[in-house]
């Protein structure tokens, strides 16, 4: 399971409505991904706050009025008998909470999906842990190139070669989400493991946070825990290079990708 998948099933995970296998896979992902673990914790805190609010005494006028005042919909007092006002206020408060709840989920679901670099870093960690089986193991760039030509649903270019000190070890085609696949190339620069995640350029629409930041002209550098990332649009691909190597080394690999053919 990757970051995109884990975050997309957050509700099922928290509400225990998902199947046990799914629950296990999310738990496994969280144990190895600090970014998602922090994201899940933040989601959980927000929901706990709303649950506590919902569970509070319904007739606690002061509490509801605080909620309504915060939402900017405090009714004018004294226009109805008190008992009716309490019922009306309570119903209104419930609606306000529902709107806040839905609105908050809406923003958390759509405002903060992982970046392509986070997904790449996650894949890299999983590969290092032995959780990403390679479809194709080879130390030949040309053989890896042929593997992608035969299997990838979009164009994946030739991996970096020994002229930039890269030794390829293998490749796979990974599922990022149900309808999004990525080419995954692994190898080493000297002794340091490095991986390269390659997506179809059209997949940029699935990464709204990257849309404005990724370009053909500049390397987008980032880090994820102890891993460094460099990303760029290369022709018809989005490419992310991940590893503990220096940003300069990652840049060199990124520039070598696709430069052969
Ligand atoms: Zn993650």
Q: Distance, CA 6 to ligand 1 centroid (Å)?
A: 7
Number of domains into which the chain is organized: 2
Q: Distance, CA 78 to ligand 1 centroid (Å)?
A: 52
Contact (CB, 8 A) for 247 and 228: yes
Q: What is the pLDDT of residue 71?
A: 62
What DSSP letter does each residue of 100-140 carry, written as one string? HHHHHHHHHHHH-PPPHHHHHHHHHHHHHHT-S--SEE-S-
Q: Token match 């760039």: residue? A: 141
| Residue 30, CB-side half-sphere exposure with 13 Å CA sphere | 17
Q: Distance, CA 112 to ligand 1 centroid (Å)?
A: 12
Q: Token match 């995970």: residue? A: 13
Contact (CB, 8 A) for 69 and 89: no
On whether both 107 and 19 belong to a single domain, the answer is yes
On whether both 28 and 136 belong to a single domain, the answer is no
Q: Distance, CA 243 to ligand 1 centroid (Å)?
A: 16
CATH number at residue 147: 3.30.200.100
Q: Distance, CA 94 to ligand 1 centroid (Å)?
A: 34
Residue 208 lies in a domain: yes
Q: Distance, CA 64 to ligand 1 centroid (Å)?
A: 37
Residue 149 lies in a domain: yes
Q: Distance, CA 35 to ligand 1 centroid (Å)?
A: 6
Of the three residues 78, 111, 144, the one that is the final residue of a domain is 111
On whether both 146 and 74 belong to a single domain, the answer is no
Of the three residues 111, 146, 181, the one that is the final residue of a domain is 111
| Residue 82, CB-side half-sphere exposure with 13 Å CA sphere | 3
On whether both 122 and 106 belong to a single domain, the answer is no
Q: What is the pLDDT of residue 60?
A: 64
Distance separating alpha carbons of residues 33 and 221, to the nearest angstrom: 19
Residue 58 lies in a domain: yes
Q: Distance, CA 240 to ligand 1 centroid (Å)?
A: 16
On whether both 223 and 95 belong to a single domain, the answer is no
Q: Distance, CA 52 to ligand 1 centroid (Å)?
A: 28
Q: Distance, CA 86 to ligand 1 centroid (Å)?
A: 45
Q: Distance, CA 186 to ligand 1 centroid (Å)?
A: 19
Q: Distance, CA 25 to ligand 1 centroid (Å)?
A: 11
On whether both 141 and 251 belong to a single domain, the answer is yes
Residue 69 lies in a domain: yes
Lay out the sheet containing 166-177: strands in order across. Answer: 136-137, 166-177, 180-189, 192-200, 237-243, 227-234, 220-224
What's CA 141's distance to the chain center, in Å? 29
Residue-range definition of the domain harbouring residue 19: 3-111
What's CA 221's distance to the chain center, in Å? 17
On whether both 136 and 204 belong to a single domain, the answer is yes
Of the three residues 54, 79, 111, the one that is the final residue of a domain is 111
Contact (CB, 8 A) for 236 and 200: yes
Q: Are strands 166-177 and 180-189 parallel, antiparallel or unpaired?
A: antiparallel
On whether both 190 and 107 belong to a single domain, the answer is no
Q: Distance, CA 5 to ligand 1 centroid (Å)?
A: 8
Residue 261 lies in a domain: no
Q: Distance, CA 118 to ligand 1 centroid (Å)?
A: 7
Q: What is the pLDDT of residue 80?
A: 53
On whether both 162 and 239 belong to a single domain, the answer is yes
On whether both 149 and 102 belong to a single domain, the answer is no
Q: Whole-model pTM?
A: 0.66
pLDDT tens-place values along the chain, 261 residues long: 889 888 888 888 887 766 888 888 899 999 988 889 888 888 887 777 777 767 765 556 666 666 666 666 655 555 455 565 666 777 777 777 777 766 665 555 544 678 999 999 999 999 999 988 899 999 999 999 999 999 999 999 999 999 999 999 999 999 988 889 999 999 999 999 999 999 999 999 989 889 889 999 899 999 988 999 999 999 999 999 999 999 999 999 999 998 876
On whether both 101 and 139 belong to a single domain, the answer is no
On whether both 60 and 170 belong to a single domain, the answer is no
Residue 140 lies in a domain: yes
What DSSP letter does each residue of 72-109 carry, written as one string? T-PPPTTSS-HHHHHHHHHHHHHHHHHHHHHHHHHHHH
What's CA 64's distance to the chain center, in Å? 36
């Amino acid at each position: 399971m990757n970051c995109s998948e884990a975050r997309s099933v957050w509700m099922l995970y928290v509400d225990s409505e998902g199947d046990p296998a799914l629950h296990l896979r999310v738990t496994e992902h969280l144990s190895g991904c600090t970014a998602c673990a922090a994201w899940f914790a933040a989601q959980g805190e927000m929901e706990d706050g709303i649950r506590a609010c919902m569970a509070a005494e319904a007739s606690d006028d002061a509490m509801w009025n605080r909620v309504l005042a915060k939402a900017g919909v405090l009714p004018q007092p004294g226009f109805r008998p008190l008992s009716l006002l309490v019922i009306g206020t309570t119903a209104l408060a419930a609606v306000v909470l529902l709107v806040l709840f839905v609105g908050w989920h809406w923003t958390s679901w759509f405002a903060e999906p992982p970046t392509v670099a986070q997904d790449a870093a996650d894949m890299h960690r999983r590969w290092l842990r032995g959780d990403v089986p390679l479809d194709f193991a080879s130390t030949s760039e040309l053989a890896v190139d042929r593997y992608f030509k035969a299997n990838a649903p979009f164009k994946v270019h030739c991996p970096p070669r020994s002229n930039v000190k890269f030794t390829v070890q293998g490749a796979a085609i990974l599922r990022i989400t149900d309808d999004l696949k990525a080419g995954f190339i692994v190898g080493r620069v000297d002794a340091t493991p490095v991986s390269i995640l390659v997506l179809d350029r059209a997949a940029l629409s699935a990464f709204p946070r990257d849309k404005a930041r990724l370009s053909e002209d500049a390397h987008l550098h980032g880090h994820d825990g102890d891993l460094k990332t460099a990303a760029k649009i290369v022709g018809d691909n989005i490419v992310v290079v991940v590893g503990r190597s220096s940003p300069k080394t990652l840049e060199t690999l990124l520039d070598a990708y696709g430069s052969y053919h």
